[in-house]
Amino acid sequence: MGLAVLLAAGAGSRMGHRPKGALLINGTPLIQRTVCALRDAGIQDVVVVLGEHRDALWPLLQGLAVPSVFNTQALSAGLTSSQRLGLQQMRAEHPWVLMALADQPLLAAQDVSALINAFGQRPDGIQALYPQVKGQPGNPVLLGRTAVEEILRQPPDFGCKDWRQAQRSRVMAWPTDQPCYVTDLDTPQDLDQLRASTGWDCQWPHSDGPEHP
């Protein structure tokens, strides 16, 4: 089985600079729900990339036996730096890396498993696979070992999107009608829509909890 990288280093600027992974959905923090979805899909090796909101999110990972890495350049270097930091956690036994976002509330274990199965049945030569819902690209994205190695050989400002644009013939869109792959929480309006469509109890915590040591 491969490695899952959960990207949770964003500032959440359009969400009022709140740590989106701390959002309580029916009482459970979103970041915990996502880690459990990845684990329940059979991925034992999960690493979380933290950034500006590390002090709020790190305590939520305790008890899950999931390591985290801190991206000190999350604000200055953006998403690419978090991607590369996560990809660097790949070990020799990992045939692929799944890059997941920490703000996809509908993502469940079966959705992750479906992606992994699709990647396992990909044609020869394909090194990346992403879900596509009604023509819209989604997440998570799966990258083969060769693609990861090629990305990491490039300069620090070269990320997954750059590789995909340069290697279109080795990238596969996987058509699906599941909205979980294109539903994320960027704005308060997104959160209102999630509440309306699911009926879930979605609340921000009153406290961010203890600080990281």
Ranges of beta strands (E only) in 17-153 are 24-25, 28-29, 45-50, 68-70, 96-101, 128-133, 136-137, 141-144
Please give the C-alpha separations between residue 171 and each of 2, 51, 115, 130, 156, in angstroms, as whole numbers: 18, 29, 14, 8, 22
pLDDT of residue 207: 52
pLDDT of residue 211: 41
Give me the CATH number covering residue 131: 3.90.550.10
Q: State which residues of the chain have pLDDT below 50.
A: 208-213
| Residue 116 in domain | yes
pLDDT tens digits for range 41-95: 999 999 999 999 999 999 999 989 999 999 998 888 889 999 999 999 999 999 9
User: Do 48 and 38 touch, CB atoms closer than 8 A?
Assistant: no
| Residue 213 in domain | no
pLDDT of residue 42: 97
| Residue 211 in domain | no
pLDDT of residue 206: 80
| Structural domain boundaries, residue 109 | 3-203
Question: Which tokens in the block code for residue 71?
Answer: 């991206």
| Residue 98 in domain | yes
pLDDT of residue 154: 97
Residue-by-residue DSSP string for 99-127? EEETT-TT--HHHHHHHHHHHHTPPTT--
| Residue 71 in domain | yes
The total number of structural domains that make up the chain: 1
Give the Cβ contact number of residue 128 at 10 Å.
25
Gap between the Cα atoms of 123 and 120, Å rounded: 9
| Residue 8 in domain | yes
Separation of CA 179 from chain center? 16
pLDDT of residue 212: 40
The dihedral over CA atoms of 50, 54, 57, 62, expressed in degrees to the nearest 10, equals 90
| Residue 27 in domain | yes
CA terminus-to-terminus distance, the chain = 32
